[in-house]
């Protein structure tokens, strides 16, 4: 009982840290976009965590951990019960559910992960998507697509049986969101003024880089819970090495992105530095528990390089990703997943092929699912705001308010003495 209590407390702390990451995502997205759309971005992030927890409670958790599958692929809870159904013994919660945590802690921890996938899409489609369309997409994606993809590995499905490994979600969380972000920005189109008639790309600076920086540090802190909690216990040795590899990959990703972007663009770009840190974090997430410190540094260094060239590739393809969500979460998510077969204790050609298969299968499923959902929404409700609304800002047109109060200039008091 004492061990269960210790493990459960650690898992609840990690749950709180992952919850805190949603503030990090909010600040990062707000900081890297324009002031006239700040409330719209914050609204989306608040909506995601609230609805994410509710739909994951109603359907997602059972879909992701169904116990059995139809034909090895479809979770049979898809046709079964909705809501939470904790294991009971003599009218009390079965504490033998798991040696690391209780059923309730399990649900809450996994629920925080579920909302993250939609948050990734939020940043990519910022400043031009209709709020109602985004909310509907998020609802469906969190309720059905994310838990089905997760069930194939974490729920004991066919990818788990194959040997595919994803410790904390480089593919099952980050790439799931990254693939949806890629499809969304392809269907949505670029922001007005992003690309010139000659095809040249024009930077649209974010309005508050200090907020974006704070967001990245919050996300880094939250990753202590994201990866540390994925140990699923408070095991001292495994938890410690996981946090060490996580931090080393983040630091290495930031440094390599900063150095490569400086050599490439001849300036010290803070946003590349920040996204390099996030790329390192995403890259190590698939194998944080099976890597040595040097492995983590190499994975992070490569992730940082991928960030710089990934951002350039997105621009070259005439896609508009205001916060770099696709390079960070999709490209580095794929890299981190494949890295499990190259570095660490699982490295080997067989493992690499398992990882490659997982990346391809999850990618195909998410792309097809996201395209169907978004195409139907685009054909019915529409995806994009009008030119006037986008030009003047979504805050005024969709929310009727500004993010920052306008303070008048106070008169200087006259000294009569």
Mean pLDDT in residue range 242-254:
98
Domain count, the chain: 1
CA angle 237, 2, 10 (to 5 degrees): 50
Mean pLDDT in residue range 208-237:
96
In a domain, 28, yes or no: yes
417 — pLDDT class (breaks 50, 70, 90): very low
In a domain, 410, yes or no: no
Give the domain extent around 253: 2-399
In a domain, 413, yes or no: no
Mean pLDDT in residue range 184-213:
93
CA angle 147, 377, 74 (to 5 degrees): 25
CA nearest neighbour of 314 among 325, 305, 304, 303: 325
**What are the CA-CA distances from residue 211 to residues 25, 36, 83, 311 (Å)?**
10, 15, 37, 21
Give me 22's structure tokens. 């949603």
d(CA 178, CA 172): 10
In a domain, 405, yes or no: no
Residue 212, pLDDT score: 98
In a domain, 406, yes or no: no
pTM of the entire predicted model: 0.93
In this structure, what CATH number is given to the domain that contains residue 244? 1.10.3430.10
In a domain, 152, yes or no: yes
Give me 301's structure tokens. 């260094």
Residue 69, pLDDT score: 80
In a domain, 263, yes or no: yes
pLDDT in tens, 132-168: 999 999 999 999 999 999 999 999 999 999 999 999 9
pLDDT in tens, 113-139: 998 888 999 999 999 999 999 999 999
In a domain, 408, yes or no: no
């Amino acid at each position: 009982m004492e061990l269960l209590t210790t493990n459960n407390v650690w898992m609840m702390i990690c749950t709180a840290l992952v919850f805190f990451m949603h503030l990090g995502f909010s600040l990062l997205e707000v900081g890297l976009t324009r002031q006239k759309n700040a409330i719209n971005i914050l609204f989306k992030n608040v909506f995601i965590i609230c609805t994410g927890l509710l739909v994951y409670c109603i359907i997602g958790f059972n879909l992701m951990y169904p116990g059995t599958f139809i034909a090895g692929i479809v979770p049979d809870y898809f046709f079964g019960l909705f809501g939470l159904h904790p294991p009971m013994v003599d009218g009390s919660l079965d504490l033998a559910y798991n040696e690391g945590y209780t059923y309730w802690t399990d649900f809450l921890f996994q629920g925080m992960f579920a909302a993250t996938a939609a948050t990734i899409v939020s940043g990519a489609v910022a400043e031009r998507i209709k709020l109602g369309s985004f909310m509907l997409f998020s609802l469906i994606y969190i309720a059905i697509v994310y838990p089905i993809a997760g069930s194939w590995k974490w729920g004991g499905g066919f990818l788990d049986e194959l040997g595919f490994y994803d410790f904390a979600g480089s593919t099952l969380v980050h790439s799931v969101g990254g693939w949806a972000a890629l499809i969304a920005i392809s269907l949505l189109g670029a922001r007005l003024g992003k690309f010139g008639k000659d095809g040249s790309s024009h930077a649209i600076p974010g309005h508050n880089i200090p907020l974006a920086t704070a967001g990245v540090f919050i996300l880094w802190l939250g990753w202590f819970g994201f990866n540390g909690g994925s140990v699923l216990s408070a095991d001292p040795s495994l938890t410690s090495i996981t946090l060490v590899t996580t931090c080393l990959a983040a630091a290495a990703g930031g440094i390599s992105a900063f150095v490569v972007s400086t050599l490439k663009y001849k300036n010290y770009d803070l946003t590349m530095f920040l996204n390099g840190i996030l790329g390192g974090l995403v890259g190590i997430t698939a194998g944080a528990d099976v890597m040595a410190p040097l492995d983590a540094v190499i994975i992070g260094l490569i992730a940082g390089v991928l960030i710089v060239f990934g951002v350039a590739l997105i621009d070259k393809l005439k896609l508009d990703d205001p916060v770099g969500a696709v390079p960070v979460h999709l490209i580095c998510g794929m890299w981190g997943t494949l890295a499990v077969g190259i570095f660490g204790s699982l490295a080997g050609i067989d493992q690499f092929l398992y990882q490659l298969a997982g990346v391809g299968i999850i990618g195909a499923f998410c792309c097809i699912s996201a395209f169907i959902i978004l195409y139907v929404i685009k054909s019915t409700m529409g995806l994009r705001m009008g030119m006037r609304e986008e030009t003047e800002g979504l805050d005024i047109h969709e929310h009727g308010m500004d993010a920052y109060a306008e303070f008048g200039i106070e008169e200087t008091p006259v000294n009569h003495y």
